[in-house]
């Protein structure tokens, strides 16, 4: 059950990052790819830090549609955040390089 909750939480974090990126980078379409990549990397790092700041309450923050109350440890949450950030970074940088 905890593994399923971890995957659900990771997905919520990925959606959080993607939504914020979309909202804040809509006007980058005309920029060269290298500049877009740099801005996106910087923004993803910002959101990663934001998720880490939310870490003490992160399960409650994302629990509006799923009961996640698994009481993840700090190290578990950091690992989930790292996985979400890595996934988003890879996917978005792949998209911007096309």
Confidence of residue 21 (pLDDT cuts 50, 70, 90): confident
pTM: 0.78
Res 98: pLDDT: 60
Average pLDDT rounded to a whole number, residues 64-81:
75
Confidence of residue 29 (pLDDT cuts 50, 70, 90): confident
Cα separations (Å) of 88 from 1, 14, 28, 69, 72? 24, 6, 18, 24, 22
Confidence of residue 96 (pLDDT cuts 50, 70, 90): low
Res 35: pLDDT: 86
């Amino acid at each position: 059950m905890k593994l399923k909750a971890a995957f659900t939480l990771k997905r919520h974090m990925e959606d959080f990052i993607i939504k914020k990126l979309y909202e804040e980078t809509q006007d980058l379409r005309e920029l060269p790819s290298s500049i877009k990549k740099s801005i996106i990397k910087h923004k993803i790092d910002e959101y990663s830090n934001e998720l880490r700041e939310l870490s003490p309450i992160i399960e409650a923050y994302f629990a509006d549609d799923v009961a996640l109350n698994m009481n993840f440890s700090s190290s578990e949450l950091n690992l989930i955040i790292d996985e979400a950030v890595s996934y988003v970074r890879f996917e978005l940088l792949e998209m911007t390089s096309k």
